[in-house]
Amino acid sequence: LAQQGFAVVNPTYRLAPEYRFPAAMEDLNAVFAFVMQHAAEYGLDTTNLFGIGDSAGATGMAAYAALLADSEYAANYPFTPPAGLKLRAIALNCGTFSMDDMLEPMRDVLPQTEPEKALHLLDIPKHITAGFPPCYLMTAYGDFNCNQPMKLFAELKNNNIPYQYKVWGDKNNPLGHVFHCNLHDPAAHDANKAETDFFHSHIQN
């Protein structure tokens, strides 16, 4: 990203099971609040903000984009997004978006009280509205989440949200979950370049 001319903020977040949902979402909100508050100090362009999430981070980024677009959905979270924050586009890489049959696999992430309610909040297809940002969806042939991006197609189309979808690799070179993080892999370079090209197409001057 930085090599493509973007200013990059690369945060971490509290991890489950020690810190359960919505702790990671609170941390993500704090990051965006910091960006909005300190943009001038770091030379950041808050009119052209983009979000990227990989794996579980893709789920969180999708949920955060959804709450920015829908105040009713946002009211379920114990924080308020920073004023003026708008994401021009997002990239969701190798994420889980549909929470069908995910209660047990997600048990250590969800709060011990009302886990079903929390799981519903993370069921991204149910919370996409017309204000959801343009979206780049990426996975790989060998990714265990390879069928997940398709779970978003119907709602993205129904809400007229621009999106691109890309599956990298094939049966002879399946790649795998978050393969694009291996910067020594030429396929990772190509995947990341395609993603930044998508972002460049949504920059507003």
Domain ranges of the chain: 2-200
- How far is C-alpha 2 from the chain's CA centre? 19
What is the dotted CATH code of the domain comprising 2-200?
3.40.50.1820
pLDDT at 173 (0 to 100): 93
In the numeric block, which tokens belong to residue 204? 């507003």
Provide the pLDDT for residue 16: 97
3-state secondary structure the chain: CHHHCCCCCCCCCCCCCCCCCCHHHHHHHHHHHHHHHHHHHHCCCCCCEEEEEECHHHHHHHHHHHHHHCHHHHCCCCCCCCCCCCEEEEEEECCCCCCCCCCCCCCCCCCCCCHHHHHHHCCHHHHCCCCCCCEEEEEECCCCCCCCHHHHHHHHHHCCCCEEEEEECCCCCCCCCCHHHCCCCHHHHHHHHHHHHHHHCCCCC
pLDDT at 86: 98
CA-to-CA distance for 132 and 12, rounded, in angstroms?
24
Q: What is the pLDDT along the chain (205 residues), one digit of tens a residue?
A: 888 899 999 999 999 999 999 999 999 999 999 999 999 999 999 999 999 999 999 999 999 999 999 999 999 999 999 999 999 999 999 999 999 999 999 999 999 999 999 999 999 999 999 999 999 999 999 999 999 999 999 999 999 999 999 999 999 999 999 999 999 999 999 999 999 999 999 999 8
pLDDT at site 205: 87
